[in-house]
């Protein structure tokens, strides 16, 4: 007997509706319905709760193959969470580029590296655009970190797409305005983000 059939049988034997079982497991009724229809498995914590609710061992709930499938799924989920966290942090790091001495400013016969706050060797409108694009990237990183708490897959995908577009635009702007240090760092971060995106989402 498969897990979904065992779960349905145990629930009915204990005279529980899907909603009542969901309340005891602190999950949604949709999650229970999904498990019973064979479209997914509960995570480890939910399995432990099921084991207590029905007074059965986890081995009785899942077969060997199902346990392997669950472990692989849990592992992929954990890796994706770490990747998403790193992705948000990399975007948030853009704020630091305002305060790091990555901007070359002409002073006599020398070029001195200064922060964006001290940088004056460029038109004000261009300097303002630097601030805007770096702050937008940082804000996007904060949004990505916040989205993880509501577990919105669509939201994460959309924010990552926006992040790639925004960072590519930033790199092009800094190349055209001859900011080699910042361009190099942003390009390196972009490559890391693309690698995380491919690793965490093979379909992309």
Q: pLDDT 10s per residue in the chain (204 long)?
A: 788 888 899 989 999 999 999 999 888 889 899 889 888 888 888 888 998 988 888 878 877 677 777 777 777 777 778 888 888 899 999 999 999 999 988 887 888 889 999 998 889 999 999 999 999 999 999 998 888 777 677 888 888 889 999 999 999 999 999 899 999 999 999 999 888 877 765 444
179-186 long-range contacts, CB within 8 A, separation 24+: 179/102, 179/103, 179/104, 180/104, 181/102, 181/103, 181/104, 181/113, 182/97, 182/102, 182/103, 185/97, 185/102, 186/94, 186/97
Rounded Cα distance between 142 and 34, Å, is 32
Half-sphere exposure of 171 (CA within 13 A, CB side): 14
| Spatial CB neighbours of 193, under 8 Å, sequence gap ≥ 6 | 87, 90, 91, 160, 163, 164, 167
pLDDT score recorded for residue 26? 87
Question: Which tokens go with 155?
Answer: 């939201």
pLDDT score recorded for residue 2? 82
pLDDT score recorded for residue 151? 66
pTM: 0.66
């Amino acid at each position: 007997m498969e897990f979904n059939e065992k779960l349905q049988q145990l629930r009915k034997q204990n005279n529980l509706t899907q909603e009542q079982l969901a309340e005891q497991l602190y999950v949604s009724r949709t999650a229970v319905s999904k498990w019973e229809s064979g479209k997914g498995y509960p995570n480890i914590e939910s399995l432990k709760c099921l084991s207590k609710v029905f007074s059965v061992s986890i081995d009785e709930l899942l077969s060997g193959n199902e346990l392997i499938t669950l472990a692989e799924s849990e592992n992929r989920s954990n890796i994706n969470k770490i990747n998403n966290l790193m992705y948000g942090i990399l975007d948030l790091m853009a704020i630091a580029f305002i305060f790091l001495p990555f901007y070359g400013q002409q002073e006599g016969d020398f070029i001195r590296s200064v922060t964006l706050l001290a940088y004056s060797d460029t038109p004000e409108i261009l300097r303002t655009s630097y601030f805007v694009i770096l702050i937008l990237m940082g804000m996007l990183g904060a949004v990505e970190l916040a989205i993880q708490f509501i577990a919105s897959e669509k939201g994460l995908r959309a924010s990552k797409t926006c992040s790639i577009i925004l960072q590519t635009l930033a790199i092009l702007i800094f190349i055209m305005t001859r900011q080699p240090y910042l361009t190099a760092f942003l390009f390196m971060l972009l490559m890391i983000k693309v690698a995380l995106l491919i690793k965490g989402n093979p379909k992309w």
